[in-house]
């Protein structure tokens, strides 16, 4: 037997003896009930290693899941953004409905205060785009009983008169139209005059006698003279008086009661029979 074979044989016997010894020790520990305690001590380093490995794996998983989390957050943000946009649209619609309800309530209250005239509420559906005329288009015409000459107003005051009709719409000449001329009366002195439309936002009342006291903020209403309009429809208020000693009559600037830039719904007085517009005489 050579030296190498002898050494290998010894190693095998030693390993066998060690294995037998371990088995005997385990048998004794199991018999005496100490095996579980020994196993517990042996698990300590393995548990620590397992915890360290688990932490590292958790960190890697968290890192790998970040792109997915970002995509999820982006999707949730987009969903919330769309929901906010939807709620904003609903809020705008409710605001518009409330504004229209308030407008109609005001018109209804005004109509109840003056029941002597029958009125029809109509929508404003168009405007004349010319810089030299002031006219609008309403949503009802002769099939709805609308006729030329009928007054058009809001709860604030007179808007103008119907000047042309079609089956389903009509054209209204505003007070501010340069060709508009309305017989008017001052609220305090009851003096008569004629309100003329201008290319500006204000009106002019003419043919007021020089001896009539006219003051700023005085109410101007329709006089009803000539039968072209009902009396006492509000036109506006005096904002500036223009007098000259060389003139037989004085004039004044009138601020209309109606905001013509915000007209959406108006009232047409259909229970009033106007005189023929072609025969109206605006002389003093």
Residue, of 65 and 284, whose pLDDT is higher: 65
What is the C-alpha separation between 74 and 104, in angstroms, rounded? 45
Q: Which residues pair with 158 in a beta bridge?
A: 153
Q: How confident is the model at residue 104 (pLDDT cuts 50, 70, 90)?
A: low
pTM metric for this prediction: 0.61
Given this model, what pLDDT does residue 201 score? 82
Separation in Å, CA 215 to CA 207, 247, 254:
15, 18, 11
Q: Which residue has the tokens 């002389």?
A: 283
Name the token pair of 16. Answer: 């066998």
pLDDT per position as a tens digit, 163-205: 999 999 999 999 999 999 999 999 888 899 999 998 778 899 9
Tokens standing for residue 64: 């790998």
Ramachandran quadrant class, 192 (left: phi over 0; alpha: psi -120 to 50; beta: rest): beta
Domains of the chain plus CATH, in order, are: 3-60 (no CATH), 119-276 (2.40.10.340)
- 43-52, 74-83, 259-268: least confident range: 43-52
pLDDT > 80? residue 140: yes
At 78 the pLDDT is 79
pLDDT, mean over the chain: 79
Is the pLDDT at 99 greater than 80? The verdict is: no
pLDDT at 45: 60
Distance between CA 235 and CA 86 in Å, rounded? 43
The pLDDT > 70 percentage for the chain reads 65
Please determine, for residue 281, whether its predicted confidence score (pLDDT) is greater than 50.
no
Would you say residue 269 has pLDDT above 80?
yes
Q: CA triplet 254, 256, 260: central angle to 5 degrees?
A: 145
Q: What distance in Å separates the CA atoms of residue 221 and residue 186, rounded to the nearest whole number?
A: 6
- Report whether pLDDT(64) > 60: no
């Amino acid at each position: 037997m050579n030296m190498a074979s002898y050494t290998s044989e010894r190693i095998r016997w030693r390993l066998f003896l060690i294995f037998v010894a371990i088995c005997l020790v385990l048998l004794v520990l199991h018999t005496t009930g100490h095996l579980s305690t020994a196993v517990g001590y042996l698990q300590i380093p393995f548990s620590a290693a397992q915890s360290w490995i688990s932490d590292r794996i958790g960190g890697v998983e968290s890192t790998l899941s970040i792109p997915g989390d970002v995509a999820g957050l982006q999707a949730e943000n987009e969903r919330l953004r769309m929901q906010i946009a939807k709620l904003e649209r609903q809020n705008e619609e409710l605001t518009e409905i409330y504004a229209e309800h308030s407008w109609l309530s005001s018109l209804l209250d005004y109509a109840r205060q003056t029941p002597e005239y029958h009125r029809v509420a109509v929508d404003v559906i168009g405007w004349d785009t010319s810089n030299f005329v002031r006219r609008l288009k309403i949503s009802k015409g002769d099939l709805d009983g609308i006729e030329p000459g009928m007054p058009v107003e809001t709860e604030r005051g007179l808007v103008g008169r119907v000047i042309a009709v079609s089956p389903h719409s009509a054209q209204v000449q505003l007070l501010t139209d340069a060709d508009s001329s309305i017989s008017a009366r001052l609220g305090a002195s009851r003096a008569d005059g004629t309100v003329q439309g201008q290319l500006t936002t204000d009106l002019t009342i003419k043919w007021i006698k020089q001896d009539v006291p006219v003051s700023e903020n005085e109410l101007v209403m329709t006089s009803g003279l000539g039968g072209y309009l009902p009396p006492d429809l509000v036109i506006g208020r005096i904002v500036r008086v223009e007098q000259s000693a060389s003139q037989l009559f004085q004039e004044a600037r009138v601020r209309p009661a109606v905001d013509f830039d915000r007209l959406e719904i108006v009232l047409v007085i259909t229970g009033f029979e106007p005189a023929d517009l072609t025969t109206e005489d605006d002389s003093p």
